[in-house]
Amino acid sequence: MSIEQALTYLQTHQDRFLAELEALLRIPSVSTTPDHGSDIARAANWVADNLRAMGARRVAVYPTARHPVVYGEMPASRPDAPTVLIYGHYDVQPPDPLGLWETPPFEPTVRGERLYARGATDMKGQVMASLKAVEAAAHAGLPVNIKFVIEGEEEIGSPDLAGFIADHKEMLAADVCLNPDAGMLGPDWPTITYGLRGLAYFELRVYGPAHDLHSGIYGGVVHNPAQALAELLAGMHDEHGRVTLPGFYDKVRPISEEERRALAQLPFDPEAFYLQQTGVPKLWGEPEYTPVERTGARPTLEINGLYSGYIAEGAKTVIPSYAMAKISCRLVPDQDPEEVAEQLKAYLTAHAPDTIRWELDVMDGAPASMTSLNTPGVQALAQAMQATWGRKPFYRREGGSIPVVGQMQQILGLDSVLTGFGLPDANLHAPNENLHLPTWRKGMEALVRFFYAFAEAAA
């Protein structure tokens, strides 16, 4: 068996791999709203069929309380090989706001070097890179056992995955978890992620009058719930961009000087990079931390959605009966999502006036996670990336949240190696999500090399 043979297989089957990715992207497997149940089932079955077609064994679609988990195995071509558990998710974020897409979100379209579709980078593209890298390596002789766990609930916080893992500990036993749901700093900058932020997501509703009121007749005697909500939201940060929830920073692990120096090793100017990627007129946030620290190693509180009253075209002179905000916190070690929920409740209890009523829904949560850099998995991936891109990878803490990383550690005792081949301008969770195809193809090469390097490192 030889790496070269596997890489040649990759080269000669690129057109089919792209067509398969496009087929998966056409299925609108949105998990965050309840109206895509059949699409979710369709996507799960599609992945299972693809696994079967490439020769996987024990392929099954396991139902859960919500969306099914797809499982499959590819055995190594030699005995005593180590096992890599590959994690992925086939669900995607909603495509809203639809009007801002240049081409429809579920009609994958190649423009230039990029493939545009919801889920192209997050993470159907990464799932297919993993499946096809395994297919190529299997053609040449797989040096490791592969187990796939492809879930359908990542975008809603993976509520059923922990139960599935706990129920199938033996089946899922492995030496490392490869999780390609992270990304790269740029097309020439291979990246290994060693830290992820956690998440706590809330919906806050402020209720005022029993029904919408005429603002002329009642304006002046009722606390407008949209105004009360604005007041509560405005108070959740101080003037330096720090979150004001009581105790919010108590358990935040400080960043060591050594780590600050390491995080500052970047191939670009982070301020210019973030300005260019976001298009904001000026960066914002805690002044005593760098932009890289603020997005990776510091917690945040964001308003994800805001609604009250009349929002269509034109004017309506109404005092709304209620106002709603979706709010989420990105968490860092050692914050606890349940404690953060209590902190938000404590803030609201302390600051909500008695002129309104409020309700808080705690929607989902997961703690942050960190991976040691001295593991065979990380070292094998670093070696594979250097061979593919001709340079050592960058190590970073990523601001996103992947709850499964913590679950793999807690339930299976498995370290995760976090990577992925999406770029910062892939528009994740946003209109015109896209996948940079040259980087995607290099990613498959790197994964093939990783399997061989890990077989050696773990030997």
Residues in region 316-335 near its own copies by CB under 8 A: 316-321, 323-326, 328, 330
**DSSP letters of 343-387?**
HHHHHHHHH--TTSEEEEEEEEEE--EE--SSSHHHHHHHHHHHH
Is residue 187 a contact point for its own copies (CB under 8 A)? no
What does each C-alpha distance from 102 to 29, 112, 359 come to in angstroms? 20, 14, 38
Q: Which stretch binds its own copies (CB under 8 A): 79-87, 255-263, 271-279, 445-453?
A: 271-279
**Which residues between 133 and 152 bind its own copies (CB under 8 A)?**
none
- Measured from the CB atom, is 136 or 161 closer to its own copies? 161
Stretch that binds its own copies, among 54-62, 72-80, 223-231, 255-263 (CB under 8 A): 223-231
Evaluated on CA atoms 291, 178, 449, 425, the torsion sign reads negative
Told to check if 242 binds its own copies by CB under 8 A, we report no
Nearest Cα residue to 316 out of 444, 216, 438, 454: 216
* 342 binding its own copies? (CB under 8 A): no
Site membership for its own copies, residue 354 (CB under 8 A):
yes
Query: 265 or 355, CB closer to its own copies?
Result: 355
Q: Where does this chain touch its own copies (CB under 8 A) — which range of 49-57, 221-229, 256-264, 377-385?
A: 221-229
- Our finding on whether 226 is near its own copies (CB under 8 A) is yes
Tokens of 242: 């720090």
For residue 395, which amino acid is it? Y
Tell whether residue 314 is a contact of its own copies (CB under 8 A). yes
If binding is defined by CB under 8 A, does position 254 make contact with its own copies?
Answer: no
Q: Which is nearer to its own copies, 61 or 363 (CB)?
A: 363
Q: Does 78 bind its own copies (CB under 8 A)?
A: no
Q: CA geometry: angle at 150 spanning 145 and 153, to 5°?
A: 155
Among 427, 437, 442, 449, which residue sits at the site for its own copies (rule: CB under 8 A)? 427
Q: Which is nearer to its own copies, 230 or 412 (CB)?
A: 230
Taking CB under 8 A as the criterion, which residues in 372-411 touch its own copies? 398-401
CA distance between the termini of the chain? 17
429 makes contact with its own copies (CB under 8 A):
yes
Burial 316-344 (b: 16+ CB within 10 A, else e): eebbbbbbbbbbbbbbbbebbbebbbebb
Minimum distance between the CB of residue 286 and its own copies, rounded to whole angstroms?
A: 8
* Whether the Cβ atoms of residue 190 and residue 66 lie closer than 8 Å to each other: no
Q: Which is nearer to its own copies, 167 or 238 (CB)?
A: 238
Q: What is the DSSP string of 124-174?
A: HHHHHHHHHHHHHHHHH--SSEEEEEEES-GGGT-TTHHHHHHHTHHHH--
Q: Is the dihedral of CA 274, 117, 112, 190 positive or negative?
A: positive
Of 363 and 412, which has the nearer Cβ to its own copies?
363
Exactly one of 29, 50, 83, 93 binds its own copies (CB under 8 A); which one?
93
Closest distance to its own copies from the beta carbon of 445 (Å): 25
Stretch that binds its own copies, among 8-16, 106-114, 299-307, 340-348 (CB under 8 A): 299-307
How do beta strands 322-331 and 198-207 pair? antiparallel
Member of 145, 300, 343, 439 binding its own copies (CB under 8 A) = 300
Q: Which of 16, 57, 58, 214 binds its own copies (CB under 8 A)?
A: 214
Element (H, E) at 40: helix 37-53
Sign of CA dihedral 388, 144, 69, 60: positive
The residues in 38-77 that bind its own copies, with binding defined as CB under 8 A, are: none
Interface characters, 3-32, with its own copies (x: CB under 8 A):
-----------------------------x
Q: Which of 356, 382, 408, 414 binds its own copies (CB under 8 A)?
A: 356
Q: Is 336 in the site for its own copies (CB under 8 A)?
A: no
The answer to the question of residue 104 lying near its own copies (CB under 8 A) is no
Of 12 and 317, which has the nearer Cβ to its own copies? 317
* Site membership for its own copies, residue 94 (CB under 8 A): yes
The residue type found at 368 is: A
- Helical (H) or strand (E) element with 443: helix 437-457
Pick the stretch among 44-52, 69-77, 411-419, 428-436 that binds its own copies (CB under 8 A): 428-436
The CA angle 61-65-66, to the nearest 5 degrees, is: 75
Contact 421, 440 (CB under 8 A): yes
The three-point CA angle 290-295-299 to 5° equals 105
> Is 303 near its own copies (CB under 8 A)?
yes
